[in-house]
Amino acid sequence: MPVAVTRLTGAAAFALLCLAAAPAAAQQSDDEQTYMDRPNSLTIGLGAAVLPSYEGSNDYEVTPAAILVGKVDGFSFATRGSTLTVNLVRSGRKAPVTFEFGPVGHLRFDRSSRIEDPVVRSLGKIKRAVELGGYAGIKFNRVLDPYDSLSFRVTVQHDVSGVHRSTIWAPDIDYTTPVCTRTLIVLSAGADRVGDRYARTYFSVTPAQSLRSGLPVYGAHGGWKNYRLSLLVAQVLTGDLRRPRLSLFAGVSYSRELGNFARAPIVAIRGSPNQYVATAGLAYSF
């Protein structure tokens, strides 16, 4: 799965977690247990996403999207596109500041299949990469009003499958607020910094590839690869933000390739540095 939909469904997973994390939106009493208070819970989301054929492409495709979030004995987990995160820190919902820390696993599908552009397809497919790492974050509750939160997190993951053998750093900021007792919005911003071997694997054009494709030879190097902005809305259809059952989620995301990544032939000649993703689906909380 391309990184763009991974990031956007990451925001979707975060929003679904926050459906239960907005207790003040329903103004329950201190003694009233909400969905978030449960030590064990599960939310499943299914939908579809419209996204670029590969990172940097201007061809778009529709693909299924799935989200799984929950808690086991108070420890939360979430699938974010093709990423799995586990938070090893228990935290109370009433604390003004909470922390996140845990492992991350990611399966990178970029240019491994379904490449729409015949010229880019002639460069050859890239094997799926397995990336493992961790993340840490801090969340400030009740920032602008009694019900919102502002989160900062950094994810670090490294390819352990030998495909690109590089490390990826991804800082993210999320602002979450309920706008009524059944509607939640999440605004997100982030960026990716990658190593030289990642840049060579996914954005360079070797002399042999140039002969096959007609694209100019190009050597990409590591650095800040892109930034992204996204908006996600979660609407509770049955229940409310205290006890969501059936919910609708929809989101849009924009990302921009930067520097020598934007100048790569697969982007500048055959694609576009501007990348858009849209996703929508239904989620059910047990």
DSSP string, 195-238: -HHHHHHHH-B-HHHHHHH-PPPB----EEEEEEEEEEEEEESS
Q: What is the DSSP letter of 39?
A: S
Q: What is the mean pLDDT of residues 235-243?
A: 84
Domains of the chain: 3-285 (2.40.160.40)
In angstroms, rounded to a whole number, what is the distance separating the alpha carbons of residues 147 and 16?
A: 16
pLDDT band of residue 4 (cuts 50, 70, 90) is very low
Mean pLDDT check: name the lowest of 33-37, 77-81, 242-246, 258-262: 33-37
Q: What is the mean pLDDT of residues 107-125?
A: 95
pLDDT at 147: 84
In angstroms, rounded to a whole number, what is the distance separating the alpha carbons of residues 235 and 244?
A: 9
Are 246 and 282 spatial neighbours (Cβ–Cβ below 8 Å)? Answer: yes
Residue with tokens 């042999």: 208
Q: What is the mean pLDDT of residues 150-173?
A: 97
pLDDT band of residue 28 (cuts 50, 70, 90) is very low
Q: Is 124 helix (H, G, I), strand (E, B) or coil?
A: coil
Q: Which residues contact 69 (CB under 8 A, 6 or more apart)?
A: 13, 16, 17, 42, 43, 45, 76, 77, 78, 79
Closest CA to 35 of 13, 14, 11, 19: 19
Are 9 and 76 spatial neighbours (Cβ–Cβ below 8 Å)? Answer: no
pTM recorded for the entire structure: 0.85
In the chain, what percentage of residues exceed pLDDT 90?
A: 69
Q: Residue 156: beta bridge partners?
A: 134, 169
- Alpha carbon dihedral 204, 209, 210, 215, in 10-degree steps, equals -60
